[in-house]
């Protein structure tokens, strides 16, 4: 896989099948993208070895982020699969978004809040 220099400069970790890049438009500080090296449109096209590689990077990045910023108290892990789900980059990538106390008024519901009113239950 060949990346332009500006893209390579965002890479913070990698393994044989995937890499981690800083998000270009971070939701929070240390927002990362875990990206398979093989082109796949979304999560559902990944092979088991790629899933394992991505999971390993998610775990290692979680530990590194928590070490770098003790204010991190949680994480959202997310993917957008398909245009109606908000996918705008047509290569699989997994968002790892660090969360801190007070970064939103009401965190309850987490990903349920992608559809207004569904986070309150």
Identify the active-site residue in 31, 39, 91, 93: 93
Q: Which of 61, 54, 58, 59 is nearest to 17 (CA)?
A: 54
Element (H or E) spanning 64, and its range? helix 48-68
Is residue 39 among the annotated active site residues?
no
Active site residues: 93
């Amino acid at each position: 896989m060949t990346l332009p220099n500006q893209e390579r400069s965002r890479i913070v970790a990698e393994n044989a099948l995937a890499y981690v890049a800083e998000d270009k438009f971070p939701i929070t500080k240390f927002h990362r993208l875990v990206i398979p090296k093989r082109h796949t449109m979304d999560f559902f096209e990944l092979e088991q070895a790629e899933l394992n590689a991505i999971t390993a990077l998610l775990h290692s990045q979680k530990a590194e982020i928590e070490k770098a910023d003790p204010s991190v108290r949680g994480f959202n892990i997310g993917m957008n699969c398909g245009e109606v789900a908000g996918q705008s980059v047509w290569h699989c990538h997994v968002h790892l978004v660090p969360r801190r106390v007070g970064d939103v008024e009401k965190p309850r519901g987490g990903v349920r809040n992608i559809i207004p009113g569904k986070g309150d239950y």
